[in-house]
């Protein structure tokens, strides 16, 4: 089955319009979903819509409400909410270009692949892609999807483009509130050299296939074993991580051990100290 486009329309740069199709670049992972089951009967538990002091209510009596103060709601009908939706536009206006690294990572939300809609759009598509690549810029604009306006960025990716939906400013918490108590002092050079060496030792090309969700793998294994055991309880032996007596550690010793026991380049190793010579035992007197 062919993939369904997330959005179809035109990328517009001034008087140039490029018909494109946008497809999701990600898919749901192998997550494990659980249902609540009534153990004596083995049947799923259903939920009823109830009102405190009244009991179950009909679905026709349910409307949407926005709480303006404790216990007070503004009630909205579906047609009122529908009328507030943004008119669906099939155009992505690239209103601004920014440096590739200027947008903080926490504004980005979800990536999508962008491809030309037909053969006639390919030439303009390639020109835009290569111009952005040469300038090392990212395009920014807005599209309307299902009645809502979404902030997006656009950048080159291989032979195509990648569109990323983004969060608006009021959706991102300011980092300063979390980082303000962290001291701005610079670390000791010998510690920094050791940490840098450790990072260099573990530097390698990113291979996403080497990483797996071990929790999901363990759950799959457990479910398979449980299905064969016909409901018997199965408890796997899990190795407990080593715990320390306290939070205080010798950072220098830990870093040295991590990089293989070598001293930092700027820190000369101390010569081994000789053990003190033992005193000779006094001679016994003859009787």
Strand runs labelled E in the chain: 7-13, 16-24, 37-38, 43-44, 50-51, 55-56, 64-69, 72-76, 91-93, 96-99, 108-116, 137-145, 148-157, 160-166
In the prediction, which pLDDT does 228 show? 81
Quick: pLDDT tens for 57-100: 888 888 899 888 888 888 888 888 777 766 667 889 999 999 98
Query: Rounded distance, CA 134 to CA 129, Å?
Result: 9
Q: What is the pLDDT of residues 104-137, one digit of tens each?
A: 999 999 999 999 999 999 999 999 999 999 999 9
Sign of CA dihedral 210, 212, 218, 219: negative
Domain-wise residue ranges, the chain: 7-29+85-171, 187-203+250-264
> pTM for the complete prediction?
0.67
DSSP-derived secondary structure letter, 33: -
Average pLDDT over residues 175-189: 88
Q: What is the pLDDT of residue 22?
A: 95
> What is the CATH number assigned to the segment(s) 7-29+85-171?
2.40.290.10
Between 157 and 242, the more confident residue is: 157
Q: How far is CA 95 from the centre of its chain?
A: 27
Range from 18-22, 198-202, 264-268 carrying the lowest mean pLDDT = 264-268
Confidence of residue 264 (pLDDT cuts 50, 70, 90): very low
Q: Nearest-CA neighbor of 152 among 16, 4, 1, 22?
A: 22
**Model confidence at 165, in pLDDT bands (50, 70, 90)?**
very high
pLDDT at residue 1, rounded to an integer: 43
pLDDT of residue 18: 94
């Amino acid at each position: 089955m062919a993939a369904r486009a997330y959005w179809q329309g035109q990328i517009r740069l001034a008087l140039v319009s490029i018909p494109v199709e946008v497809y999701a670049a990600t898919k749901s992972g192998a997550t494990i979903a659980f249902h609540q089951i009534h153990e004596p009967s083995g049947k799923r538990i259903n939920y009823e819509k109830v009102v405190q002091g009244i009991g179950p209510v009909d679905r026709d009596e349910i409307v949407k409400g926005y709480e303006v103060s404790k216990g007070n709601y503004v009630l909205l009908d579906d047609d009122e909410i529908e009328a507030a939706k943004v008119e669906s536009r099939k155009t992505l206006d690239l209103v601004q270009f920014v440096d590739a690294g200027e947008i903080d990572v926490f504004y980005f939300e979800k990536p999508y692949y962008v491809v030309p809609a037909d053969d006639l759009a390919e030439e303009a598509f390639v020109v835009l892609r290569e111009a952005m690549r040469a300038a090392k810029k990212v395009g920014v604009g807005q599209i309307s999807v299902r009645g809502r306006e979404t902030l997006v960025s656009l950048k080159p990716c291989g032979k195509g483009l990648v569109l990323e939906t983004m969060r608006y400013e009021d959706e991102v918490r300011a980092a300063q509130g979390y980082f303000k108590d962290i001291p701005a002092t610079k670390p000791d050079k010998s510690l920094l050299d050791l940490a840098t060496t450790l990072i260099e030792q573990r530097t390698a090309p990113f291979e996403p296939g080497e990483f797996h969700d071990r929790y999901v793998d363990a759950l799959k294994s457990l479910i398979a074993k449980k299905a064969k055991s016909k409901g018997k309880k199965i408890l796997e032996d899990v190795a407990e991580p080593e715990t320390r007596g306290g939070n205080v550690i010798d950072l220098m010793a830990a870093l040295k051990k991590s990089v293989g026991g070598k001293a930092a380049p700027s820190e000369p190793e101390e010569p081994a100290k000789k053990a003190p010579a033992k005193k000779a035992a006094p001679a016994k007197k003859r009787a």
